[in-house]
Amino acid sequence: MKILGFESSCDETSVAVVADGLVLSSVVASQIKLHAEYGGVVPELATREHLRNLLPVAQSALHEAGLRPTDITGVAATRGPGLPSALMVGFRAAQSFAWVLNQPFLGIHHHEAHLYSPWIGGQPPRAEFDHFEPAISLIVSGGHTLLVHVPSEAEHVVLGSTYDDAAGECFDKAAKLVGLPYPGGPEMDRLAAQGNPSAYAFPRPLINEPNDDFSFSGLKTAVRYFLRDHPEVLEDGQKVRDMCASVQQAIVDVLVTKTLRAAARLRVGCVSGSGGVTCNRGLRGALSLACRRQGLRLRLADPSLCTDNAAMIAILAERKFLRAEPSTPWSADILPGWPLANSGSGTASPA
Ligand code: KG4
Ligand code: ZN
């Protein structure tokens, strides 16, 4: 099969070509610089940028793959969740491609694609589902924090999510309070690498609760009050680095503790992780150490595939086409609030 995949759920316009499990191309036009000025993603600007970039990105993806549009045998796009107007650009463009090429079309759940992206490996990247094993998967991004049981390649059960802010949002908001540019997560990661994670004690919300849910808004508030009471910290470069390391450690401790606890409870031998926050070196290191101690295998998405990309959309679509999941009807619309629990097949309907 030769699949053309589209992703436009937030602030990356991406198109990828996958052939028989191999990623032939994955082109990503990031809008980070555009939104940095506003300290967050502005939906109207994101949509216009997707409209501007989508066709050139699709042309580059086909060109890099050395294919013509008529070589494509299946088309897929992110159907949800995401920013409604942003989703619409990639979804409708992909449907039009599929219709003109007279090829099947699949609308893909964005988090289901993140969920299986740890099983894309190597250089050039290819699907490694021969190595699939039941796992507890942590999906941590700017909008979501999900703990998922993945008993088989085609099944997933959402165990928990966040009551309020996502882990990435907590990174970004704490970084903003410290005065770091948007998106703050990567900046926090960079400064934390030179700081002392035990310098300041920040709360680890819900860490001892016997459930799989998360809550990060209290931690963000703790950072705000800490800076109100200790403004001098911002005057000292080393104290800022110590603070970044301490905030990062609080987030990482919660994510790692709850993920490993779920893995022990459900007796899986593998932990997997994906989503933008999985780029965080503190999280990658802590998960790696904890899994080694508990004799668990760890599969983390390659950093290039942690953030939003169309390669994960096209790879998952190909697996679904191979499993003969029904294609998404032409009348189907985007699903901006699509819950992961309902993403099982191409025709899954919204809750
Ligand atoms: O998955 P993603 O690209 O987009 C969403 O679907 O949200 O994730 C973006 C999030 C942002 O909050 C960003 O700050 C965070 O991932 N992020 C990081 C790092 N790289 C990206 N957070 C902490 N450390 C990083 N190295
Ligand atoms: Zn994402």
Same domain, 66 and 84: yes
Same domain, 240 and 192: yes
Same domain, 45 and 93: yes
Same domain, 19 and 77: yes
Question: What is the Cα–Cα distance from 63 to 150, expressed in whole angstroms?
Answer: 35
Is 142's C-beta closer than 6 angstroms to any atom of ligand 1? yes
Same domain, 295 and 309: no
Q: What is the DSSP letter of 161?
A: -
Q: What mean pLDDT comes out for the span 170-181? A: 95
Question: What is the Cα–Cα distance from 171 to 186, expressed in whole angstroms?
Answer: 9
At 2-17, the pLDDT tens digits run 999 999 999 999 999 9
Nearest one of 301, 299, 297 to 269, comparing CA atoms:
297
Mutate to test the pocket of ligand 1, among 87, 307, 308 (most ligand atoms within 8 A of CB): 307
* Helices 84-101 and 43-65, packing angle to 10 deg: 30
**Partners of 5 in beta bridges:** 16, 76
Question: Which of 35-44, 99-108, 311-320 comes out lowest in average pLDDT?
Answer: 35-44
Question: What is the Cα–Cα distance from 61 to 303, expressed in whole angstroms?
Answer: 20
Mutate to test the pocket of ligand 1, among 26, 115, 279 (most ligand atoms within 8 A of CB): 279
Same domain, 330 and 282: no
Same domain, 142 and 96: no
Is 275's C-beta closer than 6 angstroms to any atom of ligand 1? yes
Same domain, 106 and 19: yes
Judge residue 154's burial from the number of C-beta atoms within 10 Å of its C-beta, 0-12 exposed, 13-18 middle, 19 or more buried.
middle
Q: Could you give the number of structural domains in the chain? A: 2
Question: What is the Cα–Cα distance from 127 to 149, expressed in whole angstroms?
Answer: 20
Q: pLDDT at position 344, please?
A: 64
Query: Does a structural domain hold residue 259?
Result: yes
Measuring from atom 2 of ligand 1, which residue has the nearest CA?
Answer: 276
Same domain, 274 and 289: yes
Same domain, 41 and 170: no
Is 280's C-beta closer than 6 angstroms to any atom of ligand 1? yes
At 31-64, the pLDDT tens digits run 988 998 888 889 999 999 999 999 999 999 999 9
Is 125's C-beta closer than 6 angstroms to any atom of ligand 1? no
Range of the domain at 152: 133-301
Question: What is the Cα–Cα distance from 82 to 284, expressed in whole angstroms?
Answer: 26
Same domain, 200 and 290: yes
Query: Does a structural domain hold residue 222?
Result: yes
Q: What mean pLDDT comes out for the span 210-215? A: 97
Residue 348 pLDDT greater than 70, yes or no: no
The CATH code of the domain that includes 319 is: 3.30.420.40
Point out the domain boundary residue: 256, 283, 301: 301
Main-chain phi, psi angles of 265, to 5 degrees: -65, -40
Per the model's pLDDT, the better-predicted residue between 344 and 295 turns out to be 295
Judge residue 68's burial from the number of C-beta atoms within 10 Å of its C-beta, 0-12 exposed, 13-18 middle, 19 or more buried.
exposed
Same domain, 156 and 93: no
Q: pLDDT at position 40, please?
A: 85
Residue 345 pLDDT greater than 70, yes or no: no
Ion ligand 2, residues whose Cβ is below 5 A away: 141, 308
Query: Does a structural domain hold residue 345?
Result: no
For residue 98, the CA-to-ligand 2 centroid distance in Å is: 24
Query: Does a structural domain hold residue 346?
Result: no
